[in-house]
Structure 1
Amino acid sequence: MNRTARLYALVEELRAAAPRPRTIAALAARFEVSTRTVQRDLQALMETGVPVRTIPGRGGGWSIDRAMTLPPIRFTPEEASALAVALATADASVPYAGAARTAAQKIAASMTGPASAAAQVLATRIVALPSPSDATVRTAVEQALTTNTVLRLSYSDAAGRESDRAVEPAGLLTADGRWYLIAWCRTRQAGRGFRLDRITAAVPTTEQAHTHDLAELLRGSAAAGAVQPSTLDPLTPRFEKPMSPLR
């Protein structure tokens, strides 16, 4: 069993036993490897965000939070290839790129057989030109969107004019490979779009923002025809009506 397959199997072994812990010795015997190898594997899982933890004392060992993990997912080679392409677009300038990387690691650890081979082959055939990115700005935007809090930013428009704004985030718009923060601008008292690569500084706050309807802020703008990507349909809560085209 190679390491990728073993990491996947370790997660499933811990899931099956949860909430009871498994000892390092028991796991080493189960996978016919040394205790040091198991320890390294568990550490690797922790670093990629898998919710494994150690329980000290007699009767302790390693356990996993079943509520925070997914059951086995079987990808076809085509699905695995599609994921490889999608994740390749999540470069450093894309919102939530850091989370995308850890998600990719978890997905890669779960894939075996033809699906894993297809993704690996395609990954060697994809290259990208790096783009400049300010991680501080991206992190501040992510935080404001996730917590619905006011964001203070410095912005340079297409003519190079600098301005300072306090904005209330409504959502993200992607077009022609670029990302925009759509927000209510307190300075202009209107909805505005801020291209992420033109935000020169961003400072998150703890001030709660008002909730703004994304479709309403886009009404009458060049992006009024924006629609929710169909690939996000599975993430739309079933008890809510899917987002209609923005007009």
Structure 2
Amino acid sequence: MNRTVRLYALVEELRAVAPRPLTVAALAARFEVSTRTVQRDLQALMETGVPVRTTTGRGGGWSIDREMTLPPIHFTADEASALAVALAAADAGAPYAGAARTAAQKIAASMTGPASAAAQRLAARIVAQPAPADSTVRAAVERALTTDTVLRLSYTDAAGRGSERTVEPAGLLTAEGRWYLIAWCRTRRAGRGFRLDRITAAAATTEPAQPHDLTELLRGSAASDAERPTALAPLAPRPGQPRPSPR
């Protein structure tokens, strides 16, 4: 068993018994490797963001948070290739670009067989020219959106005029290769769009933001006809296939 496959199998082994922990010795025996190898693998999982943790003392060991992980997902070769294309071509200056890169690594590590080989071959044939981006600004915007908190920013408009704004983020808009933060601007007391590459400084706060409907903020603007992506819509059952029951 190579290391990539073993890392994936380690996660599934921990998921199968969660929240009960497993000792390093038990995992080493399960995969027929040394305890030192298991320790290195578990440390590598932690460093890539997999929610594994260790507890000491009697009854301790390694465990994983089931709510923060996914069960096995089996991709077809076409689906794996589509993911490889989307993630490999992600603009380094786009929001959540860092998360996209780690997601690509996790997907690659979890796939085996023809789907994995097809995805890796295709990803190797895609190159992207990164756009200049302020990672500090992007991180602050990401944090404010994820935590629904107020954001303070310095902004330069198309005419070169600078201003300080306090905004309540509602969402993101992508248009013609550019990204915009759509937010309620407390300074202007109206919905506004802020081009990310024109935000010269941004600071997330801990103040909760009021909820704002993204569609309403876009109404009457040049982006009023913007469409939401359908990629995350629930998959419709095939004819004759029962709908999943709610849990």
Q: TM-score, normalised by structure 1?
A: 0.89
Alignment match, 1:218: 218
Q: Which piece of structure 1 moves more, 166-175 or 27-36? A: 27-36
Alignment match, 1:48: 48
Q: Which piece of structure 1 moves more, 63-72 or 130-139? A: 63-72
Could you say if the C-alpha distance between residues 109 and 19 of structure 1 is closer, same or farther in structure 2, counting changes exceeding 3 Å?
A: same
Could you say if the C-alpha distance between residues 190 and 60 of structure 1 is closer, same or farther in structure 2, counting changes exceeding 3 Å?
A: closer
Q: 3-state DSSP class of the match of 1:22?
A: coil
Aligned partners of 2:232, 2:18: CA distance in 1, in Å? 31
Q: 3-state DSSP class of the match of 1:233?
A: coil
Following TM superposition, by how much is the alpha carbon of 1:95 offset from its aligned partner in structure 2, in angstroms?
Answer: 1.0
Alignment match, 2:13: 13
Aligned partners of 1:138, 1:38: CA distance in 2, in Å? 36
Following TM superposition, by how much is the alpha carbon of 1:104 offset from its aligned partner in structure 2, in angstroms?
Answer: 2.2
Aligned partners of 1:68, 1:222: CA distance in 2, in Å? 38
| Residue pairs, 1:54-203, within 5 angstroms | 54-203=54-203
Which amino acid letter does the alignment assign opposite residue 177 of structure 2?
G
Runs of 4+ in 1 over 6 A off after TM superposition: none
Q: 3-state DSSP class of the match of 1:163?
A: strand
How many residue pairs get matched? 235
Aligned partners of 1:62, 1:168: CA distance in 2, in Å? 40
Q: 3-state DSSP class of the match of 1:231?
A: coil
Alignment match, 2:228: 228
Aligned partners of 1:188, 1:45: CA distance in 2, in Å? 46
Following TM superposition, by how much is the alpha carbon of 1:142 offset from its aligned partner in structure 2, in angstroms?
Answer: 1.2
Instruction: Summarize deviations over 1:124-162 as a string: whole Å, max 9, x none.
Output: 101111211111111111122122222111111122221
- Please list every run of 5 or more consecutive structure 1 residues that lacks an aligned counterpart in the other structure: 236-247
| RMSD between aligned residues | 1.7
Alignment match, 1:245: none
Could you say if the C-alpha distance between residues 20 and 83 of structure 1 is closer, same or farther in structure 2, counting changes exceeding 3 Å?
A: same
Q: TM-score, normalised by structure 2?
A: 0.89
Instruction: Summarize deviations over 1:142-183 as a string: whole Å, max 9, x none.
Output: 122122222111111122221211112111101122110011
Aligned partners of 2:71, 2:234: CA distance in 1, in Å? 17
Aligned partners of 2:33, 2:122: CA distance in 1, in Å? 31
Say if 2:156 and 2:199, in contact at 8 Å, map to a contact too.
yes
Could you say if the C-alpha distance between residues 146 and 20 of structure 1 is closer, same or farther in structure 2, counting changes exceeding 3 Å?
A: closer
Aligned partners of 2:66, 2:220: CA distance in 1, in Å? 47
Aligned partners of 1:104, 1:14: CA distance in 2, in Å? 22
Q: 3-state DSSP class of the match of 1:171?
A: strand
Which amino acid letter does the alignment assign opposite residue 68 of structure 1?
M
Alignment match, 2:32: 32
Aligned partners of 1:225, 1:5: CA distance in 2, in Å? 45
Q: Identity rate of aligned residues, in percent?
A: 83
Instruction: Summarize deviations over 1:73-117 as a string: whole Å, max 9, x none.
Output: 111111111111111233331112222222222222211111111
Following TM superposition, by how much is the alpha carbon of 1:212 offset from its aligned partner in structure 2, in angstroms?
Answer: 1.5
Aligned partners of 1:22, 1:166: CA distance in 2, in Å? 48
